[in-house]
Amino acid sequence: MGEDSEMDPVEEWMALAWVDETFEEFDPLMVGGPPPAVGVPAIARAPMIVDTDAGGDPDDSVALVVAARLVPELVLVVTSDEYGGERARFVRWLLDLAGRSDVRVVAGGDLGNRRGFVVGGMCPADVPPQESDVVAAVSEVFEGLEGRARWVGIGPLSNLATLQRERPELVARMVVTQMGGAINYRNPARAEHNFRADPDAVIGMLPTLERWGPPTFVLSDVTFNPAIEITAESLLYKRWTAPDARPWERVLREHFDRWTAKYPAMQHDALTLAAALLWPGVRFVRERVALDSIARMTPSADGVEIAMSVSADYSAFMAWLEKALS
């Protein structure tokens, strides 16, 4: 008990942010975030790597633009579930339009998935194919780095699994925030999309990530909510269609239009990025979970411990997102 009075205020806030629902009386502190006088936690200044399957659901593109605008430490974007290198080309183009030509883009593994890629033909022909050695690119991020790096996964875990096989000491130095998984998925016969795309990768990585402290998972149970859906009536979309829309806004509008011809555009990945940035409106608990052979997630007392999202302040998040893209 005596140690509690000496606890750093940021550490105290972070500890409260991970406890379970029995500590509801601390909710105002969690929502308010860490006391501002103590400064920014070191991890908030660490290099950031984003792993994305951009080119399908436009929430990846939205998250990438937000990262480009808010995260000066963004140094690398790798693509997963590649589509013949076209995802990486699209990301390169989008980042250039957002003023971040300094961010390296590397094409990751191709899982053979040919469904849901909607940005074909959007990227100008003069955008070259991007390099494809993810392991080398990530290794360079860690050269000369004494601390840890942030890994924000908004696609399948294929690249992370490759890194674990080839450079496990680097994975051990990552603070991983991953969009994916669901306890009560809307289709009980299958796993959530990012897990389903490469089940072997997530089944192998979950216990590995637990070794370095519980990884953070932003579950579909929290992200699949119409409160964070962008529609044609949304303020953001109206900005993207304005006559004076910026180049990257016009790309987001076209991407949105193509996707929403069939599907809704909920902001799973931007919410995950917000969590990785320590935005306090996503609430987590520590939970033990297990994955079956097709990567469906269930609570399990004998499972792997993760920091699992259980709720989010959706209206505050949408206000945050609108400001980030203003």
- Per-residue model confidence (pLDDT) at position 114: 87
- Per-residue model confidence (pLDDT) at position 232: 98
- Residue 74, classified by CB atoms within 10 Å of its CB into exposed (0-12), middle (13-18) or buried (19+), is buried
Q: How confident is the model at residue 36 (pLDDT cuts 50, 70, 90)?
A: very low
Closest CA to 151 of 73, 246, 248: 73
Q: Is the pLDDT of residue 8 over 70?
A: no
Q: Work out the mean pLDDT of the chain and round it to a whole number.
A: 91
Q: How far apart are CA 261 and CA 2, in angstroms?
A: 59
- Per-residue model confidence (pLDDT) at position 33: 45
Q: How far apart are CA 147 and CA 152, in angstroms?
A: 17
Q: Is the pLDDT of residue 30 over 90?
A: no
Q: Is the pLDDT of residue 211 over 70?
A: yes
Domains of the chain and CATH, by start: 43-324 (3.90.245.10)
Q: How far apart are CA 57 and CA 21, in angstroms?
A: 32
Q: How confident is the model at residue 20 (pLDDT cuts 50, 70, 90)?
A: very low
Residue pLDDT, tens place only, 192-206: 999 999 999 999 999
- Per-residue model confidence (pLDDT) at position 11: 40
Residue pLDDT, tens place only, 37-83: 456 789 999 999 999 999 999 999 999 999 999 999 999 999 999 99
The values of phi and psi at residue 304, to 5°, are -90, 135
Q: How far apart are CA 88 and CA 241, in angstroms?
A: 25
The values of phi and psi at residue 148, to 5°, are -110, 165
- Per-residue model confidence (pLDDT) at position 38: 57
Q: How confident is the model at residue 32 (pLDDT cuts 50, 70, 90)?
A: very low
Residue pLDDT, tens place only, 115-147: 899 999 999 999 999 999 999 999 999 999 999
Residue pLDDT, tens place only, 78-120: 999 999 999 999 999 999 999 999 999 999 999 998 889 999 9
135-140: Cβ within 8 A, 24+ apart: 135/162, 135/163, 135/166, 135/167, 137/76, 137/78, 137/104, 137/106, 138/49, 138/76, 138/78, 138/163, 138/167, 138/170, 139/167, 139/170
